[in-house]
Structure formats: C-alpha cells, structure tokens
Amino acid sequence: MGRVGLETRLLKQFFNILNCKYMKISFMYLEMPIGGNSRRSQFWQPVINKVRNRLSSWKGKLIFVVGRVCLIKSVISALLLYYMSFFKMLKSVKKELIKIQRNFLWGWGSEARKIAWVSWENICKPNEMEGLGIRDIGNFNTTLLAKWKWTLGVEDHGVWKQILDSKYGSWRVLNEANTSRTTSKWWKDIQKVCGNTESGH
C-alpha cells in the first residue's frame, strides 16, 4: 500500500497519467528535506555544511571586517531563511552556526584559536546600538515561525490555509496550551514559539 492509502501499482498508474515522479519520503524539495525529523541533529547537517563552506577560512584572508559582516548577513539570509521559516532550530545547531560565524568574523583566515574582541550578543545588536546588525539566528528563527500565526490570521484564501485549518484548526488554536490533539511535531513547534507551551530544545 502507498502512503496515501492506495496500492503502489495504482499509484504508479496515476503518476504515469499525470507525468509525475514516484518518490518516497524523505525527499528534497526546493533544497529542503521533506519527511525528515528536524529534532535530530543530522537533519541540520547539510545546512551547517553549506554555511561552513560559504564562510570558509580562505575567504576571510581576502576581505576586510566590513566585507565579512556583509557576507555573514548574506549567507544567513540566503541559506537559512527557508529552513528557519519551517523548522525550530536545535540549540546545538544554533551554537554550531554561531561558532562558524564568529570564527569567520574574527579569524582573519587563521585555523588557530580565534579571539572574539566583542561578545556575540553585542555583535547582533543593531547599528544604532553600536552593534554590527548581524541577525541573532535564534530570534530570527522564532520570528519566522511565529509569522505563521500572523499569516493564518490575516489571509482569507489559499489552499495552504484551507489545509492547515482543516488539519490543525484556525490560528486561534495556537493560543491554546494543549497540543495533544495532534502528533505533528511541526505544529507543536509553532505553538511553542508562540509562547503557549514549554520550549523543547
């Protein structure tokens, strides 16, 4: 039987008619893993590897601090936006990503131990507060996930909204502390970032 309740043979016939590929979970879609477990560290490893490759040490030798700050901002926006819009980041992943950014900013291309001249908390402050304006990826992740509640509340139409409403209930359900009605880890994480349950990771 297929995952949608049909025999595999019948599913393949439909795929041939619709000219679709027969795929199994998990798979990649728009460079995002579908069906993976975001609460496991290996789920995030491809993202960590991409950030590390983009912020490689040799690039640090060729650009000044201002250029490194711009590159960090660009990498975080380009590589992490999709992931952090859908999945709650593990604390261990956040710690590793901050380490990569910090080493790139202060490392000067050296493989030796890096000296951080300013705390990362101050680095992430806005420019007008004497920071460098680099996003705090933990707060960025929380904000992007919490946006689901706002979007569900303000948009009136859309197939995606109908699916979420029928599966989980309207955005008002996110105000409830009880998550026992669903086994969806994704929806529970949305509730957590909206401040209605205890944080998990």
Report the DSSP beta bridge partners of residue 28.
Answer: 33
Between 169 and 183, where is the model more confident? 169
Closest by alpha carbon to 105, among 57, 38, 47?
57
Distance of alpha carbon 94 from alpha carbon 129, whole angstroms: 23
What one-letter code names the amino acid at 142?
T
Q: Over the stretch 108-124, which tens digit does the pLDDT of each residue have?
A: 655 556 677 889 999 99
The reported pTM is 0.75
Q: Is 156 helix (H, G, I), strand (E, B) or coil?
A: coil
Q: What is the pLDDT of residue 2?
A: 41
Asked if 108 and 61 touch (Cβ cutoff 8 Å), the reply is yes
pLDDT band, very low/low/confident/very high, at 64 (cuts 50, 70, 90): confident
Do 101 and 48 contact (CB within 8 A), yes or no?
no
Contact assessment for residue 100 and residue 48, using Cβ atoms and an 8 Å cutoff: yes
Q: Please give the average per-residue pLDDT across 157-181, as a whole number.
A: 75
